[in-house]
Amino acid sequence: MVKLVILHDMLVKQINANHLPSQFDIVFADIDPQMLQQKADLIAPDIIVLDLKLLGDQPLAYLQMLTQITPHAIIIVIYAFCKWSLLQEIAKMGIRIIKEPINLRLLQTNVLGLMNREMINMKTQQNNMPKMPERRYSLRQLSQLQQIKSAIECECPNHLADLVIALSAFESYSQDCRHRNPQDADIHAMLYQHTAQARQLMEHALAQLCEYENIVLDEMG
């Protein structure tokens, strides 16, 4: 279910009189931007719909703050009249812009369209990511190395195992991390590629260390 935040006077009134489809969970519907600021990190929304005129005299500062609090949310700004330069700055932040008039039906159409494009972009990002070498050690083997005692009374096998586990975890995280725009996708692809390369290098170092210290690990599994 998609968690939806709405900061828009007319849409809030329409929500009170109607019902959105079951795939939407309205976790916040109000016209107070300060209240949203206080609750946003706890709500962890998927979609945030904002009325530009409710964001005060410094809308860019508010939007910047909101993107930091909810980095994985898709943010939509609805406006009636606005300077083109401001709209350009908002768009540079990876925020979607919709011009009024707006109603629940149009909002539903736009949100579903954005969600579909987001899914397509994520699949494209994953397909475009370079093929990285498979992991050399299983989690069971790395856990074994975390606890093993070195023949030369140092903890290098333990620390190297910790490092490989951490790199593997971040490699998976960067591969699955959501993005708001193509620039985000490029950054995540770069992080994934370099982390996988670092993981491969440390696995090679760990293999040489195990050979040097005659450490025999359980079979992969």
6-26, pLDDT tens digit by residue?
888 888 887 776 665 566 778
The pLDDT-based confidence of 120 (bands split at 50, 70, 90) is very low
Write the pLDDT tens digit of every residue in 61-78: 999 999 888 888 888 898
pTM of the predicted model as reported, rounded to 2 decimal places: 0.52
Same domain for 105 and 170, yes or no, is no
Q: With beta carbons less than 8 A apart as the criterion, state whether 7 and 31 touch.
A: yes
**Bond into 101 cis (ω within 30):** yes
Same domain for 83 and 179, yes or no, is no
Query: DSSP label at 73?
Result: S
- Provide the number of structural domains found in the chain: 2
Same domain for 9 and 33, yes or no, is yes
Dihedral sign for Cα atoms in the order 205, 211, 216, 218: positive
The reply to whether 161 falls in a domain is yes
Q: Nearest 10 degrees: CA dihedral of 38, 60, 69, 26?
A: 60
Domain extent at residue 10: 2-120
Residue entry with tokens 């995540």: 188
Same domain for 101 and 24, yes or no, is yes
- Domain finish residue from 120, 154, 181: 120
Same domain for 71 and 157, yes or no, is no
